[in-house]
Amino acid sequence: MRKEADFLVIGSGLAGMMFALKVAPYGTVHIVSKTSIEETNTRYAQGGIASVTYSPDTYEKHVHDTLIAGDGLCNEEVVRSIIKDGPAIIQDLIDFGANFDKRPDGEFDLAREGGHSEHRIFHFQDRTGYEIQRALTEQVLHNPNIKVFENHFAVDIITQHHLGYSLVTDDIDIECYGAYVLNPKTSKVETFLAKITYIATGGIGNVYHTTTNPTIATGDGIAMVYRAKGLIDNMEFVQFHPTALYNRNERPSFLITEAMRGYGAILRNQKGEAFMEKYDSRKELAPRDIVARAIDTEMKVSGDEHVWLDCSHIEPQGLIAHFPNIYEKCKSLGIDITKDYIPVAPAAHFVCGGIKVNRKGRTSIKHLYAGGESVASGLHGANRLASNSLLEAAVLGHRSAVAASKKVETIQFKHEIPDWSDEGTSHPEEMVLITQEFKELQQIMSNYVGIVRSNLRMNRALERLGIIWRETKELYDRSTVSPQLCELRNAINVSYLIIKMAKQRKESRGLHFTIDYPQKLKIFDKKVSN
């Protein structure tokens, strides 16, 4: 079965929905989402969205904080422009119906997080993402130009490759004509043709054993573009959130927002000592890479599986009012955050790299745009500043929509694209072939390509990955596709990209920390004037 829309959006998180809502006045839109429309990384965002609002904050300060976190690899022009677009995009979100907390005097209650020199985080309690997802979902579902396909899994984007061209040797610009999408009701892969395709498939957290990301985050869009020979960048920079709730059998890990440290929570080791001062003068509010490594070191020294986050000195009413979601979650596990220490450990959280895009979200493939966590735009460099990713997803989603809506009239559907063929394939005989490979992959990535790396570990990871890749390719070639098999294939592609780019980086920088290269000195105490 064939489907046609002017715009095909893969992903229903903030990036995908912002793009869809903004192009909808210019054409028909299909959104495909591999589970329900609301199951996204966006929905789980806690801390909020960063944007400069009140004095004494300035754009310059936000730019400076972002560049310092990015450890020399941000594109300063991109940083400046995204930060300047912050206030307008916050207003768009409010116009779409998203609420942000206000103080009794009517001003926004802006929070502060690690690496930020000012209070500039718009939030809704400690479930900002849930609120944004709620508001945008409502808009999307009521928009007559947008049709949503839930539980539809994009397998691959369609390019000239599917018309028989070799994209490696032929001297052609690669073009995208839509995507092949698995409809689980019919178990058939359908052809979704589009004039413009937008990838907003989010993060990669599930290539690691412990992650804050929901299970949808398997790097599908990055893998699809990699297979289509599009450019991918900066994949070595995987951010581990310092404070995921340590609860041995819970996957994904529940996040304890960084805003809690912004609110005064203190990290303590097993002896009850506050340890951050040993590592960085900004203590609990140092950028994430530093805090995560400090915790990792404390855990390795003590042999324990977690450290503690202490809020017991904070005034309880305010604490509960600001973090009701965390309060309830911890209470359900017998932890009273107003009195007890919270057990926390780092978990894979965010990938700074991805599909390489320009300032308008254009990829290296014609008619293909991308945004949100699946891209490398130049904003994050070697380490993302907290709450800058919702900002990036919204701003780039908007900008791509402006660019794409101007182009769409000049593009024709590619009707000669053949439909998907699954001739000669059959159902995989046992699911365990897939689930076991996935578990092994996660162990390899967590143990060898995690917070602290080395050449030896990465070489070992690459060898082991090679075995999993060969076995999975063989399975894929003889099997009808399923979401599980596709996710495994994508996670292998993404893991390969992380290891390959990590091996190419002959230094420790930002989130890529290897014991084979001493870390260069960081300068972080330069002050920026108002």
**Catalytic amino acids?**
288
Which among ligand SIN, ligand FAD, none contacts residue 236 (Cβ within 5 to 8 A by kind)?
none
* Rounded-to-integer distance, Cα 407 and Cα 19, Å: 14
Burial class (CB in 10 A: 0-12, 13-18, 19+), 69: buried
Burial class (CB in 10 A: 0-12, 13-18, 19+), 315: exposed
- Residue numbers 194-213 binding ligand FAD by CB under 6 A: 200-203, 212-213
With respect to ligand SIN, which residue has the nearer C-beta, 341 or 350?
350
Long-range contacts of 388-392 (CB under 8 A, 24+ apart): 388/50, 388/66, 389/350, 390/14, 390/42, 390/45, 390/48, 390/49, 390/50, 390/128, 390/129, 390/132, 391/49, 391/50, 391/51, 391/82, 391/83, 391/86, 391/89, 392/82
* Rounded-to-integer distance, Cα 134 and Cα 14, Å: 10
Which among ligand FAD, ligand SIN, none contacts residue 482 (Cβ within 5 to 8 A by kind)?
none
* Rounded-to-integer distance, Cα 169 and Cα 326, Å: 53
> What's the min distance (Å) between Cβ of 246 and ligand FAD?
15
Q: Is 483 in the site for ligand SIN (CB under 6 A)?
A: no
Q: Is 386 in the site for ligand SIN (CB under 6 A)?
A: yes
Could you check whether the bond before residue 343 is cis, i.e. omega within 30 degrees of 0?
no
Helix (H) or strand (E) segment spanning residue 318: helix 316-322
Q: Is 10 in the site for ligand FAD (CB under 6 A)?
A: yes
Stretch that binds ligand SIN, among 7-15, 386-394, 412-420, 472-480 (CB under 6 A): 386-394
With respect to ligand FAD, which residue has the nearer C-beta, 155 or 458?
155
Q: Is 361 in the site for ligand FAD (CB under 6 A)?
A: no
Among 5, 30, 33, 196, binds ligand FAD (CB under 6 A): 33
Q: Is 493 in the site for ligand FAD (CB under 6 A)?
A: no
Cβ atoms of 417 and 177 within 8 Å: the answer is yes
Stretch that binds ligand FAD, among 157-165, 188-196, 371-379, 443-451 (CB under 6 A): 371-379
Among 206, 211, 257, 490, binds ligand SIN (CB under 6 A): 257
Among 65, 92, 101, 258, binds ligand SIN (CB under 6 A): 258
Cβ atoms of 31 and 149 within 8 Å: the answer is yes
Among 11, 16, 47, 214, binds ligand SIN (CB under 6 A): 47
Q: Is 462 in the site for ligand FAD (CB under 6 A)?
A: no
The pair of three-digit structure tokens given for residue 113, joined into one six-digit string: 């997080």
Q: Is 363 in the site for ligand FAD (CB under 6 A)?
A: no
* Rounded-to-integer distance, Cα 267 and Cα 54, Å: 29
* Rounded-to-integer distance, Cα 495 and Cα 63, Å: 31
Q: Is 389 in the site for ligand FAD (CB under 6 A)?
A: yes
| Contact footprint for ligand FAD (CB under 6 A) | 10-16, 32-35, 40-42, 44-49, 128-129, 153-154, 200-203, 212-213, 216, 220, 255, 350, 372-374, 387-390, 393
| Contact footprint for ligand SIN (CB under 6 A) | 46-47, 257-259, 350, 386-387, 389
